Amino acid sequence: MWVPVDPLEWQISQDAANSIFAWLANTVGAAESVLRVAATGHDKRLFFGVVVCLYMLSAIGRLVSGATVAYAGLCLFCLYMLAENSQSIRTCVPQLQRQRNGTSVEDDNM
C-alpha cells in the first residue's frame, strides 16, 4: 500500500532556502525597478511595452480562468528551469571530463 508523503515533513537546507528567497527578492526588486521607471514615463518605449503587456494579461484573464493561467505559468517556469539546468550541465561536463582525464583547468589555461 502506497502512502503519500506528507508535505509538512519536507525539509530543505538553510542554503537552499536562502538562495530561493534571495532569487525571489532580486526578481521582485528588478520588476519593481522596471515598473518604477515605466511609471515615470521618461522611457516611452518601456512605458508602451508595459501597457501592451498589461493589456495582453488582462485579455488572457478574461478568456481563461486564473487556475489555467497559473498552470501555464508553472509549465513555463518548469521549462525555463529545465533549460537553465541543461545549460549548467553542458558547462560542467567538459570540466568533469578534464578531471577524469587527469588534467585540471589550470593545466588547460597554460
pLDDT tens by residue, 1-18:
666 777 677 777 888 889
Q: Is residue 1 part of a domain?
A: no
Name the DSSP class of 102: T
pLDDT digits (tens, 9 = 90+) for 18-58: 998 998 899 899 888 888 888 887 888 888 888 898 888 88
Could you give the count of Cα atoms lying within 13 Å of 99 in the half-sphere of its Cβ? Answer: 5
Provide the 8-state DSSP code for 80. H
**Does the pTM exceed 0.95?**
no
The three three-digit cell numbers of residue 52, written as one number? 501592451
Confidence of residue 59 (pLDDT cuts 50, 70, 90): confident
- State residue 5 phi and psi, 5-degree precision: -75, 135
Residue 108 is assigned to a structural domain of this protein: yes
What is the Cα–Cα distance from 27 to 19, expressed in whole angstroms?
A: 12
Last residue of a domain, which of 44, 63, 82?
63
Domain that holds residue 96: 66-110
The structural domain count of the chain equals 2
Asked whether residue 58 falls in the same domain as residue 84, the answer is no
